[in-house]
Amino acid sequence: MFGKKEKTEESAPILEREGQFVAQLNKQAYDWLGSSYTYFDKIRNAGQGGLAGLFEDRNLEELMEATRSALSIITKTLKNGLALAYNSVVDAVANAGDAPEGWPDKIDSSDRANPPQLSPEQDALIMAFMPLKFLNLAKSVRDKGKGLDLYTEGLVKKLYFKVIGYYSDPAHWDPERLGFNLAGLPEDAALMDVNNKLSVMKSDLELFATAYQIFKFGRSPRTGADASTKNALENAMEITDEDIVRDLYFQHFIVMGMEQFMFRYFLTLLAATSNPRALRAITAVFEPALAKVTEVRVQFQGSFMTEREKVRVRQPFQAFVKEFESRPVVEQIEEKGRTVRHINYSLRLLDATTFGHAAKLSERHAKNWAGYFEAHVLDSAQNEVSKPLVLEVLNTLVQSAKLENDGRLKVAESLRAFGDDQERLGMRQVSLKKKKYDDAKRKKMAQSRKFKVLEQFDVAKTVQEEAEALEQEGQKQIEAMEQSLAKRKEAYVQRAQLLEEQAQSGGTESSAQSAGAVFQVLAGLDGDNSFQNDFVGYLLTQIREGSDTGSNDLYRQLFAVLPNLYPTQKIMLRKALESKIELADDEMLVSDEEMRAYQEQIVTRKTDLTAEAPGVFQQKLNQGQVRADVENLLGAAIMNPSLQLLLQIPLNAPNKPAAKLPGPVVQKLVQLNALINPFPEVDLILPNVDGTAPPAKRLNFNRLSKALDDAARAAAQAEAG
């Protein structure tokens, strides 16, 4: 699924098979868009003066002539955009220097009044190499289509659906195609070169994040037409609840599919480069788009509770989902007298290729992750980028979970506002109902008084009793309405509170769980824990040397993300991180048992060293004003390169002349220093001194003296405290 594709002489012309696939997607899109889109399509294709056959109402025909012209402009805008996108892709791939065999020339797009119609193969070329160019045409379509939302939204849905549908086929996820702009980037290329390679993609992703939005939903056109046109359109189209429910499912498919597409696109590009710097840059350029698709998905899911039209069709929508999801993904159907292969583009189909990142992965999602990690992490050829790649994946998973929690808070806020609106509407209805009963009672009482004046007292009494009964009936109805209002309001408040609690109390935990579930897949492939152990070392280096704070949220959750950490690894990670950022009391907790295990490991190593070199920790460095034994040096947080030089200077053992320590002993002392001081800060090596000079000439002993004094004070304070 993730390897390079072999090119053979028998290969079909470029994108011919993909073109056939896109042609089927076009047909599927029309099926999903339904009668309202088809209605506008007929108007657009009727031509000048050709509407008479569509409408019996002459006034409606005249209204639609202006609509026909507007529809034509929208369609030309899309065709021109597609032609420009196609030529942009042709140029970009050709200029990258390794265009595939049979790479086409640009098309003539100079006549904007009569733009060319792209073939399915040409659509496929855009989507296969630069799918963002295809998606971003939605903005120009929406800009030109204001006032014709039903048709405009249909075109946008079609654009999105074709990209999502195209990449529902695992064979289309080709790192060489999608990452063509990274081809030839040296492993040691500078960050400036990396950013230049990604500049076009960065602009495209920023545009997508700006333009992508939740679809409008409901029966009426939303803007741009007067009331008579709205009514005429609705009557002519005869939009049914069945159409609305079908459109709602289509929207659901697109919203879920777009989030999954963008995340997998990100993963594919991470796998398309051997330059470690490019990985962080790829994450940075994808951040706004990944945030946007998550935001829209959470907003869409929340809208089922806050949009009246969606609430109204909830039950038929659920029934449609149940029936549609029960269909096979691929089936044989009869069409125009012949049997054809039909794909049901369902949420179940999307799930087959999804890189899920829930707190608990399904077997299918875990299998997808396993394939990815086997190809791009555990492969020795990718060793230089394997660890930074995993860091970027885990970091993005944590950030996605945070965005989801932010989305929950926004939905909770919307729920509270919706509940308030419903309450205000209900109170107006209660007020109208109360006025109705008061008016009816007033009339009855007026009638009773008239009968009393006429001395028809029995009739007057009967009418008065009717008035009192009416008042009691009204009071019961009003109380029932008020109770119903209060119950509905309480339900919205409870839902909002639940979302807020999930976001606030479970937010950090859930972000760690999703990243941890994904890393657990990698750990399952890493039989001897060699990758995890190397990864911990890499993380320590990143924390020590890195200045980017973008991974701090992940670092705070490392104990939950990385399974089976040794106590030593936990303490080293905690010490490293707390020297960089302030940790809360409940973050990166190390148990007393783990602390004892860590200290026992230090004691064990010291015992082994003492057995190998008796008295080594009492040997003294006597250099200028410095008088310190090896034990003191290990407590001064000295960086390993500096310590290595120090230990090459002859040391004084009790009652013995100064002598150099054996090389293996020096190396074991340096390793012990790394265990005791996972984040040393004291650098003693003097700049601008010849590297061949004796160790004593290359070291700053004034700085060493200060470091020893600081360490002694800190130890005294810790003992006193």
Residue 707 has pLDDT above 50, yes or no: yes
Residues 488 and 557 in one domain: yes
Percent of the chain predicted with pLDDT > 70: 90
Confidence check: pLDDT of 172 > 90:
yes
Q: What mean pLDDT, rounded, does the chain reach?
A: 85
Query: What pLDDT does 11 receive?
Result: 39
pLDDT of residue 56: 53
| In-domain check, residue 11 | no
Say how many residues make up the chain.
721
The string of pLDDT tens digits covering residues 58-84 is: 555 566 677 777 888 888 999 999 999
DSSP state of 638: B
Confidence of residue 53 (pLDDT cuts 50, 70, 90): low
Question: Taking 90 as the threshold, does the pLDDT of residue 379 lie above it?
Answer: no
Residues 690 and 542 grouped into a single domain: no
Helices (H), 51-190: 58-95, 120-129, 131-135, 137-144, 149-166, 175-178
Give the model confidence (pLDDT) of 243-265 as tens digits: 889 999 999 999 999 999 999 99
Per-residue pLDDT at 60:
58
Between 193-197, 410-414, 436-440, 684-688, the lowest mean confidence (pLDDT) is in 410-414
**Separation of CA 584 from chain center:** 26
Domain enclosing residue 714, as ranges: 609-720
Domain-embedded: residue 277? no
Last residue of a domain, one of 270, 288, 314: 314
Please report the pLDDT score of residue 316 as a whole number. Answer: 94
Name the helix (H) or strand (E) containing 331. strand 330-335
Higher pLDDT, 131 or 586: 131
- CA 551, 552, 554, 560: dihedral to nearest 10 degrees? 160
Q: 537 and 577: one domain?
A: yes
Q: What is the pTM of this model?
A: 0.81
Contact residues for 239 (Cβ-Cβ < 8 A; gap 6+): 35, 36, 219
Would the pLDDT of 49 be above 70? Answer: no
Q: What integer pLDDT is reported at residue 79 of this predicted model?
A: 93
Contact of 159 with 46, CB cutoff 8 Å: no
Is the pLDDT score of 629 beyond 50?
yes
In a domain, 264, yes or no: no
Give domain status of residue 369, yes or no: no
Query: How many domains are contained in the chain?
Result: 3
pLDDT digits (tens, 9 = 90+) for 631-647: 999 999 898 899 999 99
What token pair was written down for 381?
Answer: 């050829």
Q: Which residue has the higher pLDDT, 151 or 159?
A: 159
Q: How confident is the model at residue 6 (pLDDT cuts 50, 70, 90)?
A: very low
Assigned domain for 415 exists: yes
Q: Note whether 666 and 570 are same-domain residues.
A: no
* 34, two tokens: 């339904």
Which one has a higher pLDDT value, 218 or 124?
A: 124
Task: Verify that 560 and 613 share a domain, yes or no.
Answer: no
- Tell me the mean pLDDT in the region 29-56: 68
Residues 574 and 613 in one domain: no
Is 685 strand, coil or helix?
Answer: strand
Q: Report residue 223's pLDDT band, with 50, 70 and 90 as the boundaries.
A: very low
Together in a domain, 541 and 486: yes
361 CB contacts (<8 Å, ≥6 apart)?
Answer: 369, 517, 518, 521
What local confidence, expressed as pLDDT, does residue 8 receive? 37
Residues 633 and 575 in one domain: no
Cβ pair 215, 157 in contact under 8 A: yes
Say whether both 584 and 617 belong to one domain. Answer: no
Q: Say if residue 580 is in the same domain as residue 624.
A: no
- So what's the pLDDT on residue 224? 44
539 lies in the same domain as 615? no
43: nearest Cα among 32, 58, 54: 54
325-347 pLDDT tens trace: 999 988 888 877 788 788 899 99
What Å distances lie between residue 207 and 134, 211, 285, 286, 624, CA to CA? Answer: 12, 6, 11, 11, 64
Tens-digit pLDDT profile for residues 491-501: 778 888 877 77
Does residue 145 sit within a domain? Answer: yes
**Does position 284 have pLDDT exceeding 70, yes or no?**
yes
- What was the pLDDT predicted at 579? 81
Note whether residue 640 is domain-resident. Answer: yes
Could you tell me if 165 and 234 lie in one domain?
yes
Split at pLDDT 50, 70, 90, the class of 616 is: very high
**321 domain residue, yes or no:** no
